[in-house]
Copies of this chain bind each other. A is one copy, B any other.
């Protein structure tokens, strides 16, 4: 039998388990969905022995101020925005090459966003061992709604429309999922530290205030696209599930018609929307019905 590929990070991680050494390495650590207490013990140990600690702060948002992390870790945390990670990754990799390595913190699970595969590849190119500490992400936590994970088709991302760009290309995927009898998780757009078009034209970046798509906006856009494309897949009376701040102490889940979801105040970000399959299992409905509005 051919020997299988063993990940390069394994031996380093195993040495680290002994606690006697602080080897170099890039430690990509998921923080989960809630606050500072959602880090795993494995993650916390790596943070404490790391040479430097970075927090990726653009593909998702942390529900607590960075000071809460610093207090728990007893460490300084450097916030790494998109520019930092994409243009100054060498700073992170240099730290990773030092004893203790670099802890690179990501809200949710480390590989929700593509960018982190890039960092992983760049570390490998420099022969820096990489270890990954998994955690919860929206992609698995949605099962708390009662909808069964293995009945989810591909997820779609609903992006903000602009005056000139109104993409609808994701909608056929939702329709295909419904035809296949599976649920669709809709991830809603996040715009953080985006340079304004006007400022780019002037050659000096000025950033737009952060924007997070609400469930209300997503529902409106989906209904508009359905009419635009003549899909007849969704209508005001279609049932769907709105989830806000999932995994946080004040999470909200609501199972209601799109018309009702469009009017519901779900509070602060992040919001997501689930368009369930046309037919639901009895067990799924039993749980979902607990999330109908009490009004």
Establish whether residues A136 and B139, one from each chain, have CB atoms under 8 Å apart when the complex forms. no
Establish whether residues A109 and B143, one from each chain, have CB atoms under 8 Å apart when the complex forms. yes
CB distance from A258 to the nearest CB of B (A): 14
The CA of A132 and the CA of B117, in the complex, are separated in Å by: 29
Closest B residue by C-beta to A135 = B136
Chain B residues contacting A293 (CB-CB under 8 Å) are 2-5
Chain B residues contacting A152 (CB-CB under 8 Å) are 154-155
The CA of A4 and the CA of B243, in the complex, are separated in Å by: 10
CB of A260 within 8 Å of the partner chain: yes
Chain B residues contacting A182 (CB-CB under 8 Å) are 153-154
Chain B residues contacting A153 (CB-CB under 8 Å) are 153-154, 180, 182
Establish whether residues A134 and B7, one from each chain, have CB atoms under 8 Å apart when the complex forms. no
Known A135-B32, A265-B1: A176·B187 in contact at CB below 8 Å: no
Chain B residues contacting A33 (CB-CB under 8 Å) are 134
Chain B residues contacting A276 (CB-CB under 8 Å) are none
Chain B residues contacting A254 (CB-CB under 8 Å) are 4-5
Residues 259-284 (chain A) with a chain B CB within 8 angstroms = 260, 263-267, 283
CB distance from A289 to the nearest CB of B (A): 10
Interface SS majority for chain A: mixed
Chain B residues contacting A45 (CB-CB under 8 Å) are 37
Give the contacting residue for A140; candidates B140, B157, B264, B292; CB below 8 A.
B140
The CA of A148 and the CA of B137, in the complex, are separated in Å by: 14
Give the contacting residue for A144; candidates B17, B32, B132, B267; CB below 8 A.
B132
Give the contacting residue for A149; candidates B5, B13, B44, B111; CB below 8 A.
B111
The CA of A82 and the CA of B290, in the complex, are separated in Å by: 25
Give the contacting residue for A5; candidates B136, B180, B253; CB below 8 A.
B253
Establish whether residues A32 and B37, one from each chain, have CB atoms under 8 Å apart when the complex forms. no
Known A5-B291, A33-B134: A154·B151 in contact at CB below 8 Å: yes
Establish whether residues A140 and B148, one from each chain, have CB atoms under 8 Å apart when the complex forms. no
The CA of A41 and the CA of B267, in the complex, are separated in Å by: 26
The CA of A10 and the CA of B144, in the complex, are separated in Å by: 14
CB of A201 within 8 Å of the partner chain: no
14 contacts between A and B (CB under 8 A): A3-B295, A4-B265, A37-B41, A38-B41, A41-B72, A109-B136, A109-B140, A110-B144, A111-B149, A112-B143, A117-B146, A139-B149, A140-B140, A154-B182
